[in-house]
Structure 1
């Protein structure tokens, strides 16, 4: 397991921004650092977490940053029916488990089955996604 120092993690995020051609700003750096800590955050949770360190930050500014991050491939977006979308740092392909009660999202390492060619005649499949839906441990206890 690789452990990064706070300074090392900060430098990695700065390099990510530079690699995709985005200017390094305090708010961009903070939002990416919050996302780099892991988890799936909606815009409001992301704004609140980044605001704790920055002092001021609007949800609209975070929406704008996320649009740039999505366009450059730095982050991915996961739509949750009935709940706000959540974002995470782009990484290795993976699947998700979604709690239908509280909206909690967890990453799941699972291979995607390849559909038989007969099932999608004439199609060129570019990606596939499996979403496991159910109740998370906390909602099952409640």
Structure 2
């Protein structure tokens, strides 16, 4: 299993955001540009984190406007929305491959993990029930190094592994 760089330097986030918006059939607006540019450098951000960053850059932008941008860009394939169980939805610009994620049970920190077997879909279900499978989503759960080092009792973290919830 290989951890990927999360600096946004992937094929999906390469190129001018203006051109990417136009190619996706979306109008080029300041909020859309601000969202795409910020997420390229801050993958796995929540909608609230994006809204705060966009407001810092542009001034007054409503939360609804940011949600609308995230929705439109996700639908157009410019952003990927991931929803780890028990955590808020997160957004990233890395959309051109079938990668997976590591999520910290403690703080929610999320990291990219390249596909376990390479080409999409990297996992073949035992039964497709007639579906044409085009993507597999895998979330690896555990504790990030920061949460592991700040644990008050080492066995706090090992209990999950012993219960088969690694």
Shorter-chain TM band:
0.7 to 0.9
The CA deviation string for residues 74-97 of structure 1, in whole angstroms up to 9 with x for no partner, is 101010222210000123221100
Report the Cα offset of residue 121 of structure 1: 5.8
Report the Cα offset of residue 70 of structure 1: 1.2
TM-score if structure 2 supplies the norm length?
0.72
CA RMSD of aligned residues (A): 2.0
1:137 is aligned to 2:145: yes
Alpha carbons of 1:56 and 1:110: their partners in 2 closer, same or farther (altered >3 Å)?
A: same
CA distance in 2, matches of 1:139, 1:62: 30
Higher relative contact order (CA 8 A, sep 6+): 2
Structure with the bigger percentage of helix: 1
CA distance in 2, matches of 1:56, 1:121: 47
CA distance in 2, matches of 1:39, 1:95: 13
Report the Cα offset of residue 122 of structure 1: 4.2
Q: Could you say what secondary structure the match of 2:82 adopts?
A: strand
Report the Cα offset of residue 73 of structure 1: 0.6
| Structure 2 residue aligned with 1:46 | 50
Q: Could you say what secondary structure the match of 1:82 adopts?
A: coil
Structure with the bigger percentage of strand: 1
Which sections of structure 1, spanning at least 5 residues, go unmatched? 1-8
1:108 is aligned to 2:113: yes
| Structure 2 residue aligned with 1:120 | 127
